[in-house]
Structure 1
Amino acid sequence: MRLFILFLPLLWCIPMSSMAQGDIINEVKESIKAGSSKELSKYLNSSVDVTMNGDMATYSKTQAEFILRDFFKENPPSSFTIVHQGASKGGLPYAIGQYLSGNNTFRVWMRIKNEGSKYLIHEISFIRE
């Protein structure tokens, strides 16, 4: 019984952890759907790998916000949907989405890491299909 009481608080943390993963994906989805680099930057890690049409570079959070702002300005969103989400073998959450802008379709891929007490985007890609 004592063992159960010791582990009971840990059981409450498990759903909260997965809920936090889902929350960031939903928040990021809404930010991308709105084409808001400012809102999206709230969920970026301090260093972010950003890929735009095959060109990948590592940026600071502030630099990544400017890159995303320019992308959204050149490609205003018509719609954005998450088509798949899951976790890697190591437990890192990820999501794959489809971003539509006019006649252009982009595959969006993001990898999320737990940084301290919250989940943040570590890598994000926009690849024209």
Structure 2
Amino acid sequence: MIRPLLPALILFTQLIYTLAFQGDIVEHLSTLFKSANSKEISKNFAPSVEITVNDTEDVYPKGQAEQILRDFFTKNSPTGSAVVHLINTNPNYRFGVLALATKSGKFRVAITLKKSANAFFITELRIEPDK
């Protein structure tokens, strides 16, 4: 009797875990920004990402986007990060704003994520000095 229910239970558990993780993706990214982990952040990039750092804006492939983020962290070593704003009401879209404190100043980080193949990917990343 229990054997037929086991695969369904495993599938249900995986679904709940995926939904729970995806709900916390902006908080997870905030932690990665605080630790300046460009490699882990880039795992969440879409194949092409629109990146704005200060006044420079362009669309970059995933690998080049990681390099730009790494360069930003080299120049601005993070000391803290907090989620300031979060939109997670749409099942296919997430938006978050982080307050990023660095040794060289404070920045506002806006992250736009879109769902593709049951996962959220960063399609736009804006890093601007906090006003």
TM-score, shorter chain, exceeding 0.5: yes
The alpha-carbon deviation at position 20 of structure 1 amounts to 4.3
- Report the Cα offset of residue 77 of structure 1: 0.2
What's the offset of the Cα at 1:89?
7.3
Contact 2:95 / 2:110 at 8 angstroms: preserved in 1? yes
How big is the alpha-carbon RMSD for the aligned residues of Structure 1 and Structure 2? 2.3
CA contact 1:88–1:94 (8 Å) conserved in 2: no
CA contact (8 A) 1:94 1:109 kept: yes
Query: Paired residue for 1:123?
Result: 124
Does the CA-based 8 Å contact 1:34-1:77 persist in structure 2?
yes
Percent identity reads 30
Alignment of 1:72-87 (within 5 A): 72-87=73-88
Give the TM-score taking structure 1 as reference length.
0.80
* Counterpart contact for 1:24–1:120, Cα < 8 Å: no
Aligned counterpart, 2:38:
37
Task: Find out whether 1:68 has 2:69 as its counterpart.
Answer: yes
Change (3 A) 1:20 1:127: same
Once the two structures are TM-superposed, the CA of residue 45 in structure 1 deviates from its matched residue by: 0.7
Q: Which runs of 5+ in 2 are unaligned?
A: 1-11
Q: Distance in 1 between matches of 2:23 and 2:52?
A: 23
Say how many residue pairs are matched: 118
